[in-house]
Structure 1
Amino acid sequence: MDQSWIKEYSHPLFIAGPCSAESEEQVLNVTRALKNQGINIIRAGIWKPRTRPNSFEGIGHAALPWLELAKKETGVKFAIEVANPSHVEQALKHNIDILWIGARSTVNPFTVQEIAESLKGITIPVLVKNPVNPDLALWIGAIERLLNQDIQKVGAIHRGFSSFGKQRYRNEPLWQIPVELKRHFPELPLICDPSHIGGRRDQIAPLSQKALDLNYDGLMIEVHPNPDKALSDAAQQVTPEAFAQIRQNLHVRRATSDNELFRSKLEELRERINSIDHDLVDTLAARQKAIEEIGIYKKENDVMVFQLERWNEIMRTRPEWASAQGLDRELIEEIYKLIHADSLKVQTRILNEETNDSAS
């Protein structure tokens, strides 16, 4: 995997520009404004995969000459989304510098494979957005399909994951998934798209800071000369002036420190955490033994595994205990959902063993 392309830019890398290329004038205006701020990679949607029909789906290939004109005038590079081999052909024909595969494409291995084959051996960077649904394997698989086609300049874009119902964010960030992706591909450049995660312009700054605190390599932010009149995703775009303010307020922290006192104290605290984690694992093992005994007892008395009243009691009391200790209620709820799912699995296995023994 070749990281040289991202090292050509300052850290963090900024990719900015409108959700959609709407007119030649709009593209030129926003490109000039961003170039004056030192931004050298502009994003612009040419083909827009929309959730429902009859909404603005982009100008299409007719907008590509606008990007070429803006490149010629300002010297910037352009990044666009491609969703099929035809898009790839048109993008390369018009000298697009960076391509990305969108979330709705990443979710389909057949689509990714077709795009990857059309890009075989290409030397420009290709970025992969996370799939719409929270499936790490699909994200990894899309990256591997590119690498299998000898595409070495690969990166990932974290744009959040869809969820049912009204949530705080347009797309839940689920930070643990991109963090796990980085564990699989330590050299993979990772870029955050706070515009699509938040869905509102007031969310962009805190999400951007969170990403930088997690050591992301860059940010992709939607910038429009007149966001309120944008033809797509108006609520999540910011003006060039607002974008400049966001950048100015971001704090880029160091990856580590050479201070010996810091390093010594950090090691001490990590050792303490190691000890606590060991105790936690011992406690979970003791809990599982109790669960196994419950499973055997239920089996002997012909009682079903799932007990709604008991589950309601756990989901009421454990978050209360967490609050009393100053812990996040939602975190404890999620932990106990995982613990309960495993408890059901253990007890079900015990009951099935009884059924198999009876059958024999």
Structure 2
Amino acid sequence: MENQKRSVQDAWQKRPLIISGPCSAETEEQVLETATRLAKTGKVDMLRAGIWKPRTRPGSFEGVGTKGLPWLQQARKLTGLPTAVEVATGKQVEDALHFDVDVLWIGARTTVNPFSVQEVADALRGVKVPVLIKNPINPDLELWIGAVERVAKAGIEQIGLIHRGFSSYGNTEFRNAPMWHLAIEMKRRNPNMLIINDPSHICGRRDILLEVAQEAINLDYDGLMIESHIDPDNAWSDAKQQITPEQLAGLLGEIVWRKEDIPSEEVHAMLEKMRAQINQLDDELLQLLSQRMKIADKIGQYKKENNLTILQTRRWNEILERACKKGEKMGLGREFITKYLDAVHMESINHQNKIFHG
């Protein structure tokens, strides 16, 4: 047991941390063969398998349940690799720990519900086990933070994050939109917390797994969780997003692995020189924004004196269209320009509201 704990800690500290295994544990033979082939690649640090599968709609395969846990025990004995499973209830936590699962993770459908997270957290009290927490299905950073806080208050010391994308209306490219800015903000707020990316659930299909995995590594993620199956096309769940252990090894071999820092004075000096230029430009931008708000204040006062509305829709549309056309010629994306000007516009409205109420 002491060697097992040491193995888990070694895996938890490794960078990059690679977790892989089937979306669902289907049969003992499937779990053991997948685990053996993954271990043979020499590139996987931890095995995963879905034992209980919370599905969006009834009728889908919802996992083999507790009977699959001994299969993971056996997989660990065969490979020496730690195991990880998703838990959504207190009873599932108890069962997983009874069968010596090394790492637990809380899924997106659980993170979205504070009552469910609290039930899991209560079951974890007094237990020393690492816990990974996936982002909630909907793009709500506070729910993700709240889940982390609940688990931490239960006494869990090793907590990590899994970014698996967010449900987004109208999104067609991904199964779950990455919304990288939310994960980046979560990382900013928790700079010392492990964060790994789950390209399988973001992509929903195997042909773009490498693209998303590379983006995550470029953004300094600590590792990846990628689903792997011995016969992906005939998997009982999420067949389109799974790859064979050998395909996983190939994908990992194609990634350009980057580091946040390297011990090179020359590199540091060049970065500092360019960052100084960025700092100067940021200062100038802030000065310009301040001047813009002062003019907006004058316009607000004029509107108030002449009984004009704060919102001038036609004028706002003209500003947006003009800026987007000009920005695109300068290499700036339309989405970025729109979000930036929306923020500036709302700040102008807030300034003018204060004048109207002053």
TM-score (norm 1): 0.91
The residue aligned with 1:300 is: 305
DSSP-derived class of the 2:51 partner: coil
- Whether 1:18 aligns to 2:22 is yes
Cα deviation for residue 208 of structure 1 reads 1.1
Cα deviation for residue 23 of structure 1 reads 1.6
CA–CA separation in structure 2 for the residues paired with 1:47 and 1:75:
23
Cα deviation for residue 103 of structure 1 reads 1.1
Identify the match of residue 129 of structure 2 among 103, 124, 128. Answer: 124
Identify the match of residue 158 of structure 1 among 142, 154, 163. Answer: 163
Change (3 A) 1:5 1:292: farther
* Alignment check: 8 A CA contact 1:6 1:189 kept: no
DSSP-derived class of the 2:105 partner: strand
CA–CA separation in structure 1 for the residues paired with 2:313 and 2:170:
24
Change (3 A) 1:245 1:82: same
Identify the match of residue 37 of structure 1 among 16, 22, 41. Answer: 41
Cα deviation for residue 173 of structure 1 reads 1.7
CA–CA separation in structure 1 for the residues paired with 2:181 and 2:67:
39
* Alignment check: 8 A CA contact 2:17 2:45 kept: no
Counterparts of 1:127-138 in structure 2 under 5 Å?
127-138=132-143
* Alignment check: 8 A CA contact 2:106 2:134 kept: yes
TM-score (norm 2): 0.92
CA–CA separation in structure 2 for the residues paired with 1:6 and 1:334:
43
CA–CA separation in structure 1 for the residues paired with 2:310 and 2:181:
31
- Whether 1:289 aligns to 2:289 is no
Deviates more, 1:175-184 or 1:233-242: 175-184
Task: Encode CA deviations 1:152-206: one digit per residue, 9 max, x unaligned.
Answer: 1111111112211134222222222222222222221111111111222122111
Cα deviation for residue 129 of structure 1 reads 0.7
Counterparts of 1:238-257 in structure 2 under 5 Å?
238-257=243-262
The residue aligned with 1:84 is: 89
CA–CA separation in structure 2 for the residues paired with 1:235 and 1:249:
20
Change (3 A) 1:298 1:167: farther
CA–CA separation in structure 2 for the residues paired with 1:69 and 1:257:
40
CA–CA separation in structure 2 for the residues paired with 1:8 and 1:196:
22
Count matched residues.
Answer: 350
Cα deviation for residue 294 of structure 1 reads 2.4
Identify unmatched segments of 5+ residues in structure 2. 1-7
Q: Which amino acid aligns with 1:14?
A: I
Cα deviation for residue 7 of structure 1 reads 5.8
Identify the match of residue 279 of structure 2 among 264, 274, 281. Answer: 274
Change (3 A) 1:307 1:258: same
DSSP-derived class of the 2:133 partner: strand
Cα deviation for residue 126 of structure 1 reads 0.5
CA–CA separation in structure 2 for the residues paired with 1:241 and 1:203:
17
* Alignment check: 8 A CA contact 1:6 1:13 kept: no
CA–CA separation in structure 2 for the residues paired with 1:314 and 1:232:
48
The residue aligned with 1:112 is: 117
Identify the match of residue 240 of structure 2 among 235, 238, 258. Answer: 235
Percent of aligned positions with the same letter in both sequences?
Answer: 48
